[in-house]
C-alpha cells in the first residue's frame, strides 16, 4: 500500500492548494476520527448524497445499508461512488465578513464499490463498523445472525484516489482590513460527550461499561 494517495484530475485541489495533502497516513487519521460519511452515487433519478456510518478496514472504506434500500437493491461491482468525511474544528471569525472561514479536516475519496458477498468478510466489516463507532463494543454485544447478515448490503471501496484538505490557525484578514476594530479569533469546536443514559427497558444489573463511561473522540 503506497504512502501517497493517487492524485488525479478529480482529487487535485486547485482552490487553496496550500491546504492540500495526499499523505495516506493523514487521511487515515481523519477517517479514523470521523463518524459520518457523505456518500455520493449516481442513480437513474440523478446523483444522490447520503449521510452514512462507515469504517476503515485496512486500505478500504466500508459502508452498509439495508438490502431493501432503493439505491442498494440493484448494486453490483461496478458502481462508482464518492465518500467524503469532514471534521469541523472551529469557527474562524475575521475582521472582515469576506474573510470568515472554518477550521476543518476533510477527506474526499473516489472509487468503485465492491459488493461483499462472503459471510466472513461481511462479518469483519460489521465488526469494523461497530468498533469504529465505539472501540470495544463488538465483543460486548450480540453478533449479527445469518438473517441479519443476509438483510444487509455491505460495500467496500479502496482508499486510493483521494485528497485531504485542512485549514487550521487564526483568521487571515487582508492587509487593508487589519486596522478594523472588530473582534477576530477562533471558536474551537468538537464533539461533546454526555453522561451515558441507560435504556429504560434494560433490566440487567451490569454497570455502564468503561468504554461508554470514558468515551471520547479525537
For the stretch 16-50, pLDDT in tens is 888 999 999 999 999 999 999 999 988 777 888 99
> What's the CA gap between 72 and 212, in Å, rounded?
32
The pLDDT of residue 218 is 75
C-alpha cell recorded at residue 186: 477562533
C-alpha cell recorded at residue 163: 485528497
Contact assessment for residue 89 and residue 104, using Cβ atoms and an 8 Å cutoff = yes
3-state helix, strand, coil in the chain (%, to 5): 20, 35, 45
Contact assessment for residue 2 and residue 22, using Cβ atoms and an 8 Å cutoff = no
Q: How many CB atoms lie within 10 A of CB 189?
A: 14
Sign for the CA dihedral angle at 101, 107, 108, 113 comes to: negative
| Residue 1 pLDDT > 60 | no
Sign for the CA dihedral angle at 121, 124, 130, 134 comes to: negative
The pair phi, psi for residue 126, each rounded to 5°, is: -60, -45
98: left (phi over 0), alpha (psi -120 to 50) or beta: alpha
| Residue 134 pLDDT > 80 | yes
Please give the helix or strand (H or E) that residue 30 lies within, else none.
Answer: helix 24-33
The pLDDT of residue 65 is 85
Contact assessment for residue 37 and residue 63, using Cβ atoms and an 8 Å cutoff = yes
Contact assessment for residue 94 and residue 100, using Cβ atoms and an 8 Å cutoff = yes
Note if the pTM is more than 0.85: yes
Strands 80-93 and 152-158: unpaired
Q: How confident is the model at residue 73 (pLDDT cuts 50, 70, 90)?
A: low
N- to C-terminal Cα distance for the chain? 25
> What's the CA gap between 131 and 55, in Å, rounded?
8
- Domains for the chain: give ranges and CATH numbers: 17-87+105-170 (2.30.110.10)
Please give the helix or strand (H or E) that residue 211 lies within, else none.
Answer: helix 210-213
**Over the stretch 184-208, which tens digit does the pLDDT of each residue have?**
999 999 999 999 999 999 888 888 9
Amino acid at each position: 500500500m503506497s504512502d501517497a494517495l493517487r492524485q488525479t484530475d478529480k482529487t487535485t485541489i486547485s482552490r487553496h492548494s496550500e491546504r492540500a495533502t495526499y499523505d495516506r497516513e493523514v487521511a487515515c487519521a481523519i477517517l479514523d476520527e470521523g463518524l459520518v460519511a457523505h456518500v455520493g452515487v449516481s442513480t437513474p433519478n440523478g446523483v444522490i448524497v447520503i449521510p452514512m456510518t462507515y469504517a476503515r478496514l485496512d486500505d478500504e472504506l466500508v459502508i452498509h445499508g439495508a438490502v431493501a434500500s432503493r439505491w442498494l437493491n440493484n448494486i453490483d461491482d461496478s458502481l462508482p461512488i464518492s465518500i467524503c468525511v469532514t471534521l469541523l474544528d472551529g469557527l474562524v471569525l475575521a475582521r472582515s465578513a469576506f474573510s470568515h472561514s472554518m477550521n476543518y479536516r476533510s477527506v474526499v475519496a473516489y472509487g468503485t464499490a465492491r459488493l461483499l458477498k462472503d459471510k466472513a468478510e461481511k462479518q469483519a466489516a460489521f465488526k469494523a463498523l461497530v468498533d469504529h463507532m465505539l472501540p470495544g463494543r463488538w465483543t460486548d454485544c450480540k453478533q449479527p445472525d445469518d438473517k441479519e447478515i443476509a438483510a444487509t448490503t455491505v460495500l467496500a471501496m479502496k482508499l486510493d484516489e483521494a485528497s485531504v484538505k485542512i485549514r487550521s490557525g487564526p483568521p487571515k484578514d487582508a492587509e487593508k482590513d487589519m486596522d478594523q476594530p472588530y473582534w477576530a479569533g477562533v471558536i474551537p469546536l468538537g464533539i461533546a460527550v454526555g453522561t451515558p443514559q441507560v435504556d429504560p427497558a434494560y433490566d440487567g444489573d451490569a454497570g455502564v461499561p468503561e468504554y461508554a463511561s470514558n468515551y471520547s473522540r479525537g
